[in-house]
Chains A and B, each alone.
Chain A
Amino acid sequence: MSREEARRLAKQYGLQQVGVRPTLGSYLKDLWRHKSFLLTMSAADSVARHQNNYLGQLWAVLNPLLLAFAYFLIFGLLLGTGRGVENFVGFLTIGLFTFLYMSAGWNYAAKSLVGNVAMVRALRFPRAILPLSVVLAELLASMPAFLVLVVIALLTGERPQLSWLLFPVAILIVAVTTAGMGLMSARLVHGARDLANLVPIITRMLRYTSGVFFSVATYGDLLVEKYGQQLRPVADALVYQPVAVSLTMVRETLLGEVPMRWETWAFASGWAVLLLTVGIVVFWRGEAGYGRA
């Protein structure tokens, strides 16, 4: 049987070729059909996250709190990076918890295909479920920490205002950004798994440049003051890169001293839409090859 004969036979009986990429439209539809599977996977995954401890899910709160305490000691008290910030505890915890969510979601998503080869080779489903479900799982696992942020804001003297209602919206935008980054890197890491080694390094760099424990806006202004107007693009890039602008957006909802700016929200949502779109397309283009040994 030649290749052409086989093809003709298959077409004659309406068989569908496997291992070929579906159209983007049908892929998205397929993904939508699997939404409850996505939720089930995410819930299972988030429960599994802190299961091997006596304190269990309590660690979802304890862990970031302890880390925040360490950061406060180092950056707040020892290095004094909190200059120009009144409520540094609130500023730091919001930045840190949001960043921890983004970095964890991104890191898990990047390895979600390579790490679940057994599942990919056993069950058929749109593979985008894997990176999406870990990002969602991480969001569910981070919920207690995000609630703690509201408590901390109250304890540190922030007064509840209407902008607090936007806090969940901001978290959702952050999640979409993370999902986009995750989808993209999942495909890249599947293609060349060595790239997985770069993910923690990039994460580390983002941690120190995205204003987790200092104000990027203040720092950017300092740069311009010191070296002149030609550094304005650098300062803007610092402020408006996806991670930094995400942290700022979340802070704007809870911290009274960080005023709401439309630019922040425009950039953060813009990044979210852009990264998710690019992420889905990039991931979908590789769909035919996932599970290949």
Chain B
Amino acid sequence: MGVPEHSPDAHAQDPTGQQREPGEPTVVVSHLDIIYRVFGAGRARSNKGQDDGDNAEPAALLNRLTQRSRNVGGVRRVHAVKDVSFVARRGESIGIVGRNGSGKSTLLRAVAGLIPPDGGEVWLGGRAALLGVNAALVSQVSGARNVMIGGQALGLTKAQVRERFDEIVDFADIGHFIDLPMSSYSSGMGARLRFAISTAAVPDILVVDEALSAGDAQFRAKAAERVKQLRDQAGTVFMVSHNNNTIRQTCTRVLWLEQGQLVMDGEPNEVLPAYSRAVSGRSQGRARASGGRGRGRGRPRVHASSAAKKRNRRVRPQDRRDGRQPGREADGESQDEQ
């Protein structure tokens, strides 16, 4: 089975990277399920999307007893991505929105082929790479060695990495620190170097996990420019961002995840307002996600109405106890609203 060659005209049509006609499928995600096994997690008291809903305080003892039967040893299962299906095409730039812990990063990693599915299938056309400041490297050794490790892990040869070495170091702008162990870097410096390394190669499928939040303002601007370049060169782009403006400017399509489920899949000006409404609505009282009315190009779609109903049936004490988090996000969103 051959990997389709990168067709040169796919990104040549429009240099802005927007409104490109979607081409052939490059990513097929079919009924994807990902379940984390969390070790040493103890009793149930988490607002991550687990399928066994948390009960209120008085039922804590009962809860504990029932939990015990479900958890072998100290292991808890967190159902992070539930039955997500979609098809991404060449030339598409897909943003993923959702609240903290809704499974965005997990979905991204699965799309990049880094976390094997527990159920369902993921098909890729070409090489996928995760671009993220969290991409782990060896912290005890020097930045220079890490450039070699990271570059080669991205599929470059040793010679190619050496060729791009200066460019990477210049971009990361960490000066003589390049010869010191990465553990001595400030968090911003580490993030900058990791970003520079992970953008050294252009993959067919680019997966960006909040990479733009790294470093200071100056670096963020530089990083945004770099991501834009990559996006124009890569066949298909996925990105997670909490900034709706970023998504609106750069994405041709938005997936909205809620507790691991795909709530809505459509154009940005369709999904983003609905998502903002749902998030700000949730912070005031109960959220009611608006329906997935998006016109699809034959795309799979999870209907928001059923997903939202299912969700609303569950009592989620975390939401009420800690209204700060959804509220804060809602603030960010309301500024984004036109």
How many A-B residue pairs have C-beta atoms within 8 angstroms? Tell me: 146
A16-B124, A17-B122, A293-B34 given; A123·B135 CB < 8 A: yes
* Bound: A116/B87 CA distance, A: 31
- The answer to whether A293 touches B28 (Cβ under 8 A) is no
Task: Judge whether A163 is part of the interface by a CB distance below 8 angstroms.
Answer: no
Q: Which of A122, A193, A291 meets B134, CB within 8 Å?
A: A122
**Would you give the shortest CB distance from B136 to chain A, in whole angstroms?**
4
- The answer to whether A15 touches B141 (Cβ under 8 A) is no
Task: Judge whether B129 is part of the interface by a CB distance below 8 angstroms.
Answer: yes
Task: Judge whether B98 is part of the interface by a CB distance below 8 angstroms.
Answer: no
- Of A39-47, A61-69, A247-255, A256-264, the stretch lying at the interface with chain B is A39-47
Residues of A within 8 A of B26 (CB): 13, 15
* Bound: A124/B153 CA distance, A: 7
Chain B window 176-213, contacts with chain A (Cβ cutoff 8 Å), 1 for yes, 0 for no: 00000100000000000000000000000000000000
A194: nearest residue on chain B (CB-CB)? B73
A6-B28, A16-B123, A18-B113 given; A292·B85 CB < 8 A: no
- The answer to whether B118 touches A7 (Cβ under 8 A) is no
Q: Which of B3, B154, B181 meets A123, CB within 8 Å?
A: B154
A1: nearest residue on chain B (CB-CB)? B300
- The answer to whether B114 touches A124 (Cβ under 8 A) is yes
- The answer to whether A193 touches B39 (Cβ under 8 A) is yes
A41-B149, A122-B134 given; A15·B28 CB < 8 A: yes
- The answer to whether B114 touches A14 (Cβ under 8 A) is no
Chain A window 45-72, contacts with chain B (Cβ cutoff 8 Å), 1 for yes, 0 for no: 1011001100000000000000000000
Size category of the binding interface on chain B: 35 or more
- The answer to whether A14 touches B1 (Cβ under 8 A) is yes
Size of chain A's interface in residues, with CB distance under 8 A?
42
Q: Which of A6, A18, A19, A122 meets B135, CB within 8 Å?
A: A122
Q: Within B59-92, which residues are at the interface with A (CB < 8 Å)?
A: 80, 85, 87
Task: Judge whether A32 is part of the interface by a CB distance below 8 angstroms.
Answer: no
Residues of B within 8 A of A16 (CB): 1, 3, 123-125
Q: Which of A9, A36, A47, A291 meets B115, CB within 8 Å?
A: A291
Q: Within A263-293, which residues are at the interface with B (CB < 8 Å)?
A: 288-293
Residues of A within 8 A of B136 (CB): 116, 118-119, 121-123
* Bound: A221/B154 CA distance, A: 56
* Bound: A51/B138 CA distance, A: 13
Chain B window 211-230, contacts with chain A (Cβ cutoff 8 Å), 1 for yes, 0 for no: 00000000000000000000
- What are 30 residue pairs bridging A and B, where the CB atoms are less than 8 Å apart in the complex? A1-B300, A3-B121, A6-B30, A7-B30, A7-B121, A13-B24, A14-B4, A15-B28, A15-B124, A16-B1, A16-B123, A16-B125, A17-B121, A17-B123, A19-B122, A36-B157, A37-B149, A40-B149, A44-B141, A44-B145, A47-B145, A48-B138, A122-B130, A123-B136, A123-B153, A124-B113, A289-B116, A292-B118, A293-B34, A293-B115
**Interface residue ranges, A against B (CB under 8 Å):** 1, 3, 6-7, 9-11, 13-19, 34, 36-37, 40-41, 43-45, 47-48, 51-52, 116, 118-125, 193, 288-293
Supplied contacts A13-B25, A14-B125, 14 more A-B pairs, CB within 8 Å: A1-B87, A6-B28, A6-B85, A6-B121, A7-B121, A15-B125, A37-B152, A44-B141, A44-B145, A47-B141, A48-B138, A118-B134, A125-B153, A292-B118
